[in-house]
Amino acid sequence: MPPKSIALIGAGGIGSPAALALCEAGVRDLLVVDEDRVELSNLHRQLWFEQEDVGSHKTEAFARRLGDRYPGTRVVAVDDRALPHNVLGIMARASVVLDATDNYASRFLLADAAHLAAVPIVHAAAVRWQATVMATAARGKPCYRCLFEDLPAGPVVDCATAGVAPPVCGVAGAIAADRVLRILAGDLTAFAHIVTYDGIADRLRSVPVAPRKDCPLCGSKPKIGNISRSRYTGGVCGV
Amino acid sequence: MSVIVRIPTPLRGHTGGQDEVTVDAGTLAEVLDALDGAHPGIKSKLVDEKGVRRFVNIFVGDEDIRFMDGLGTAVADGDEISIIPAIAGG
C-alpha cells in the first residue's frame, strides 16, 4: 500500500460499492469524506448502511462497517464536504482520489484541486440508467475540464427527481475502483478514456478522450492556478 | 447518409424512451436538426447559440467533434453518433 490514503469523496451510491471493491482487492487505508447523514432513501443502493443507521453520519457508519468486515483497515472519516477551503488539505493526504460526489461544483472543484496538487483522480457518476467513469493522471491530460469544460449553466434535471438505478451505481463504483487499482499499479491505460455504461441498453463503451489545448486547467496556457470559491458556484446534481 | 444517434438516458424523455434514433443527414448540424424535427426540444439540450453546450460531448464513432469540424463535421452512411453529457449523481 502507498503511504497515503485512497481518498473517497462521497460515501453514497458509488462510493459504497467502490469501497467494497477496493477493500476486497486489499486496500487498507481509506479517507472517506462526506457531510451527509444516512437517509431511508439511501438504503437501496448504499450498501454499507442499515435501517438502524438512518440519521447517523454517513462517514461514521461507513467506517464502522468497513472496519467490521475488514479488520485492520484504517478508515479516516471526515464528516465534511470537500470545499474550496479544505480541498487541498484532503489532496495532501491522498495517493489517489475517487470522486463519487453528487454535484457538478464538487466535481470541478476536485478536478482542479487534484491537478494543482498533482494527485491522480477518478471521476465516477451515475444518474438514472447511465454511468460514466474517467481517470486523470497526476498533473495529467486530458482532464475532466478537457471534456466537460465548466459547470452547466441554466436549468438541469435534478438528480433528486431523475433518480438513479442502484445497479448502475454498482457498475460505476466497480469500474472506478478498477481505475484506482490500475493507477496504483502504474497502468497508464487507465487514462485518456471515458467509460460510459447504459443500464437499459446494456452497453458498456470506452471512448477515447483527447486533451484540449485551450483547457483552462491542463492546457498550454492554464487559467486555473488556485482554488477560488467563485469558480464553483451554481450547478446542481443532474444533467 | 443514414446515421444512428445513440441517446443517453437523461435525454430519452425527448425520444419516447428510444435509446437510438436513425436520421438522414450529411453533417452533424443536419443530424441535430433532423433529430429535433423528429423529437422537438432535444436540440436545445445539446447546443446553444455558441455551439455544443460545454457540458455535452458529441462523438462521431470514437472521435470527439471538438477535434473535428464541430457542428460542420461530415457524417457518413452508417456512422454512430454518441452523446455524452456530464452527469453528477451517485
Whether residue A239 and residue B10 make contact (CB cut-off 8 A), yes or no, is yes
Query: Is B42 within the bounds of a domain?
Result: yes
To the query of whether residue A215 is one of the catalytic residues in this protein, the response is no
Q: Which of A12, A15, A152 sits opposite B55 (nearest CB)?
A: A152
**pLDDT 10s digits, A188-233:** 999 999 999 999 889 999 999 999 999 999 999 999 999 999 999 8
**CATH assignment at residue B56:** 3.10.20.30
CB A10 to CB B87 under 8 A? Answer: no
Residue A2 has pLDDT above 60, yes or no: no
State the CATH class of domain A5-232. Answer: alpha beta
**Number of domains chain B is built from:** 1
In B, minimum Cα distance to A10 occurs at: B90
Domain with B17 in it = 2-85
pTM of the full predicted structure? Answer: 0.91
Is residue B67 situated within a structural domain? Answer: yes
pLDDT tens, position by position, A164-196: 899 999 999 999 999 999 999 999 999 999 999
Distance of CA B83 to the CA centre of its chain: 5
Q: Indicate whether B90 belongs to any domain.
A: no
